[in-house]
Structure 1
């Protein structure tokens, strides 16, 4: 991939054949770096991945990476924070518009946008000592959000808590599996199928 870097402007990039050049704004550049980092971290893990690896994944120099992120740890955390923020944003958008398949659709939308970042948040981060607390805290907040499905359905506190955790796990696992097995063209079919299964479970746990 053709690359150029100047002291004044780190946003210049070239096409793969070294031809047409375009400029990236700061936000777009940071997004590009985060996506490249998510891919590299998901593939090799935090310890085994260097800033040089991230730079190579993005097709830029390590100096450009460091202009946007102070450290490898800051970059990994930025990926997690971006994905978690997008899940919150997407959930609010769908909730406000009363869209169907709310919870699973939220996760799949964000997972399609950034599959490696989604995997990093839900699969890999919890196994990284530096980021396990963040991953666990986000999962706990997600469990509390999922509890809304069982309001006025389950009275027993232990069952209520278990049902919320089980349901969140079902949602995340189903989306991760679909990323591996399905295609974007089949997403609508998947969402209908997965939502039916989810609500069958939720309704089966109602305590009258």
Structure 2
């Protein structure tokens, strides 16, 4: 699992080596989690020595944080503007399909790691705020709009995770089904508001 097509031990330019390490570390951390993964595990999977790994990252925490930052950045690039539109589901599915390990780290593993919990909570708060911005336009009761804003991102992430676990069947149908779930959440909150 040397990542980025580089043979084990090959000399790579610094930026390419860093990307290779991040790619491999994403897979390794997604398999075993932060606590159970050692730097020697990442170095071994990347086909490099710990000394080379330490040239790029001073600690396991720094490496994990870089992996999470990379996954968040990729997700932001895939989704684009922070407006909730129907196309966001398609964008999220495509991003999860391109980087399932990164998706799982962001939404499952990092939330369980106390050292990274504050970052995960900030990221979740951004998703809720984005959903609230859309949903408050259609849901008159602020309490039900808040409920829907919390539930819609949670349901979306759970549905995409289940889709990944099921082997990524037909992404177009998956997007339709996930949109139906989100539409149902909005409809339930609107009905409760009246």
Q: TM-score, normalised by structure 1?
A: 0.79
Distance 2:133 2:14 in 1: 38
Distance 1:25 1:160 in 2: 50
> For the structure 1 residues 109 and 28, does the alpha-carbon distance in structure 2 shift closer, same or farther, using more than 3 Å as the test?
farther
Distance 2:23 2:5 in 1: 18
**1:75 matches 2:63:** yes
* Aligned position for 1:40: 28
How many residues are treated as equivalent by the alignment?
191
| Correspondences of 1:61-140 after superposition (within 5 Å) | 61-92=49-80, 101-140=86-125
Pick aligned residue for 1:159 from 137, 140, 144: 144
Distance 2:188 2:143 in 1: 16
Distance 2:176 2:32 in 1: 34
> Are the counterparts in 1 of residues 148 and 185 from structure 2 also a CA contact under 8 Å?
no
Distance 1:204 1:28 in 2: 49
Deviation (angstroms), 1:32? 2.1
Distance 1:24 1:94 in 2: 36
> For the structure 1 residues 74 and 176, does the alpha-carbon distance in structure 2 shift closer, same or farther, using more than 3 Å as the test?
same
Pick aligned residue for 2:42 from 24, 47, 54: 54
Pick aligned residue for 1:183 from 168, 181, 184: 168
* Aligned position for 1:145: 130
Which deviations, in whole Å up to 9, do the C-alpha atoms of 1:105-144 show, x marking residues without a partner?
Answer: 2322221222111111111111111101111111111110
> For the structure 1 residues 188 and 59, does the alpha-carbon distance in structure 2 shift closer, same or farther, using more than 3 Å as the test?
farther
Distance 1:166 1:70 in 2: 38
Q: TM-score, normalised by structure 2?
A: 0.84
Superposition RMSD in Å? 2.9
Unaligned segments of structure 2, at least 5 residues: none
Structure number having the greater helix percentage: 2
3-state SS in 2 of match to 1:169: helix
Greater relative contact order (Cα < 8 A, sep 6+): 2
3-state SS in 2 of match to 1:130: helix
> Are the counterparts in 2 of residues 146 and 168 from structure 1 also a CA contact under 8 Å?
yes
**Max radius of gyration: which structure?**
1
Unaligned segments of structure 1, at least 5 residues: 3-10
